[in-house]
Structure 1
Amino acid sequence: MRALTWQGLTDVAVTEVPDPVLQDPTDAVVRVTSTAICGSDLHLYNVLGAYMTQGDVLGHEFMGIVEQVGSGVQNLAVGDRVVVPFNISCGHCWMCSRGLFAQCETTQNVDQGTGASLFGFSSLYGAVPGGQAEMVRVPHADFGPVKVDHGLADERVLYLSDILPTAWQGVEYAAVPDGGTLAVMGLGPVGQLAVRVAKHKGLRVIGVDLVPERLEAARRHGAEIVDLTEMKDVGQAVRDVTDGRGADGVLDAVGMEAHGSPVLGAAVSVAKRLPGPIARKAIETAGVDRLAALHGSIDAVRRGGTVSISGVYGGMADPMPMMELFDKGVQLRMGQCHVRRWTDELNALVSQEADVLDLEGLATHRVSLDEAPEMYKTFNDKADGCLKVVMTP
């Protein structure tokens, strides 16, 4: 079958790989009908190449039709239409029983010191072949896949795999009181959905970015805008419109590759080009992230408020403003999304007749899988107004 594979830093290609087969009784094989490029995929394209092997199949946002099921899968049948959460969880271990599906102890990568395995996301998270492919083997299919209505457009339900529950969890973690103010740092796909989710929940939303098309998209969905090309001090900009206090909650939807951190950015650029074993050692002992979005979030939140972090960070030696955090009494919540914790509620929401979150209007580029290498570059460069790419194998 054809799949998008990692070949090196900023180098991906569609190649022929073996067809997936059932390996365990709780496996299924899904024929992919739609798959998307996520901002987290760009971390593998750029920074985390040290954890990739040439030929790894990429992608963790996908949906499709069940082609085969193992003998231990009673909840699915051939022909079912499913969305597959990006984290692989068993549904019954100690962590899963507490709704912490991204920390599943059955698929946890103890040798790497990381949480549950993820589709298409490097040796850090199990090196499980991903969903930017014609077919995918889905472990723990007796729990993970979410059945969806055959009558809904793919783009109405595809984002249940990752970015919609990630945005939903990010807003929930921000703990904004009813009628309060949420600032969203970064208006990529997760940030855009966070704006829509927060407005759906009745919150006031301030969106922060520097890409004109992304600012305009957030404005269309009800956000007040802070344009970083005009206002460099994001904390002051947010305080100016919140009676001098700051936002009740701030959602960092950017992560490790934020703009505005030239010194740390230079360190990241050097580290990612080191030979694999040396790069891994550097990341795991002295790795730093670009921190402009996170530090801006801490500045912009009010005293006693909450910073919710959905953007991925990977540094082990990041400098943090601990005096400010302590003095302001800031609460921090973060982590990989516990997708299945939210999917029942979200599936019901997106299955309504009205597309209340305008999910079908999120993608700016709809292409074939063959165009994936070009689209990775376009998305990475924020070129051509690219906000979200959906691909058909």
Structure 2
Amino acid sequence: MAYATLEKLFYADSSSDRYKKHELLLKQRLESESTFRTGIHLDTGELFLAVPRELSLMNEQVLRRERKVSALWRSLPTTALGAYIRTLIMDEVVCSNEIEGVHSTRRDIELALEEAQRESAFGGSPGRHAPFFEFAKLYLGLIDNPQPPRTLQDIRSSYDAIVVDALDEKDKLGNSLFRTGQVVVETGTGKVVHVGVSPEAKIEEMLTQWLELSRSEAIPETYSALLCHFLFGYIHPFYDGNGRTGRYLLALHLSKPLSQPTVLSLSRTIAEHKSVYYRAFDTAERKLNSAEGTHFVMTMLGLVSEAQEQLIAELDEKRHLLDELEERIAHCRLDLSERSLDVLFYAAQMELFDAFHETRMADVAAWLSVSRPTARKSFDELISANLIVRVSKRPPVFRLSDTGRNILRL
């Protein structure tokens, strides 16, 4: 029998003492030796995580898939990895925005990422930042395994970076760390689905408990990360931007036990299963479920599994195409110099792994450790052979031509 919610078992019981049975079952789950109790009290009781058989199996499957994701990831060449991680970051930011109804495009995030990388390389960026610069910079920073928030100010700083380009004047906080007024989340028909914690002192108290839970060594990292994700949504510390901030903090926490590609694929999966995602929050908040977080964690692990499966399928296919590609270039008998064949292979990798299938001359010159004029000779040779086409003059950007894709069977 599947592990049922307390609410479902309550309504399945038509006996006159079902309230007493509900209390006994809650006590049994709460006091089980395998249960993780947080000591954090919601309106419906103490937030806790029971560990039924299904949850143990799901967690084991996630960790097992991680080994496959990591193996496929390590098998890719550096050029392909760099392009693919940028594509994943773009999609993660776009999808996280999309879930909250904030419009952004891959091109927006690409410009933001380029600016963030320039700032990192040269120690500053003049003028006004590109839209979503700070948000993209946070996700780009996940590559360096940053530390999760340790103070309330750290949480606020992450929030400021995330919403800087997408916040109405009425939702700005002023000098307070968190919201000082009440917030009510309603459906389009006016049904109340969530009331945020208040007042601000209570928000700060619960976020302090959130910080303690996030770094607790008394609970597995995956479980604490997912419970923290629910708790952040429950507290709802800001007027707007809670969802985007919560998903970034989730990515930050999950980047410890899980791989970067899995973490950077999660918002896309959530966007594809948005109703399942929001229902998980609602289920955990229902009065008769008495603050049990088990089904929320199981739902989120299911979404992690879905993200992994999609990722494995994509990486498997791309790895196979990459193997074939090397063989085709080696045997296609093109009358090209060795360096031009290398550039062609680089452009083919961009065709497979880059969000826009584009090859930049500056990147190729750095990859080959040659000057741009030297790299330009190879590009000119490939253009003459009708294998690539120029898509931008300044900066010089190229992509495979239809002929090039046909020859390489891409």
**Is TM-score (shorter-chain normalized) higher than 0.5?**
no
TM-score for both structures, normalised by structure 2: 0.25
> Whose helix proportion is higher, 1 or 2?
2
Instruction: State which structure, 1 or 2, has the greater radius of gyration over its C-alpha atoms.
Output: 2
Larger strand proportion of the pair = 1
